[in-house]
A and B are shown apart, each in its own frame.
Chain A
Amino acid sequence: MDILTTIKDHLAEILDIEAEEITLETYLVRDLGVESIDFLELAVAFNSSLGIEIEDDEIFLANLRLYLKEAKEGKSDIVSYLAQKYPSLAKERLKQILQDLDDGPVLKVKDLVSYVSFRCQEG
Chain B
Amino acid sequence: MEQITINTHLDGFVLIDKISAIDENNIKGTKHFSGFPAPLAIESLAQLGALHVRFITGFEKHCFLLKINNCKIPEIQELNGPYQLEGSLLGKSKQAFSYSLRATKDCKTPLEGRFTFAAIDYDERFKKELLQRHHKKILTCFNLCD
Please report A residues at the B interface, Cβ cutoff 8 Å.
37, 40-41, 43-49, 53-57
Number of A-B contacts (CB under 8 A): 47
Contact B118–A45 (Cβ < 8 Å): no
Please, how many angstroms separate the alpha-carbon atoms of A40 and B92 in the complex?
Answer: 9
Contact A40–B90 (Cβ < 8 Å): no
Contact B116–A48 (Cβ < 8 Å): no
Determine which of A48, A53, A55, A56 lies in contact with B98 in the assembled complex, contact meaning CB atoms within 8 Å: A48
Apart from A41-B96, A44-B91: 9 A-B pairs, beta carbons within 8 A = A37-B66, A40-B95, A40-B118, A41-B66, A41-B98, A44-B93, A46-B93, A48-B91, A56-B96
**Interface residues in B37-68 (C-beta closer than 8 Å to A):** 66-67
Mostly helix, strand, loop or mixed at chain A's interface?
Answer: helix
Please, how many angstroms separate the alpha-carbon atoms of A80 and B67 in the complex?
Answer: 38
Q: CB-CB < 8 A to B90: which residues of A? A: 44, 48
Contact B66–A40 (Cβ < 8 Å): yes
Please, how many angstroms separate the alpha-carbon atoms of A41 and B91 in the complex?
Answer: 10
Q: Can you report 8 residue pairs joining A to B where beta carbons are below 8 Å apart?
A: A37-B67, A40-B116, A41-B98, A53-B93, A54-B94, A55-B93, A56-B95, A57-B94
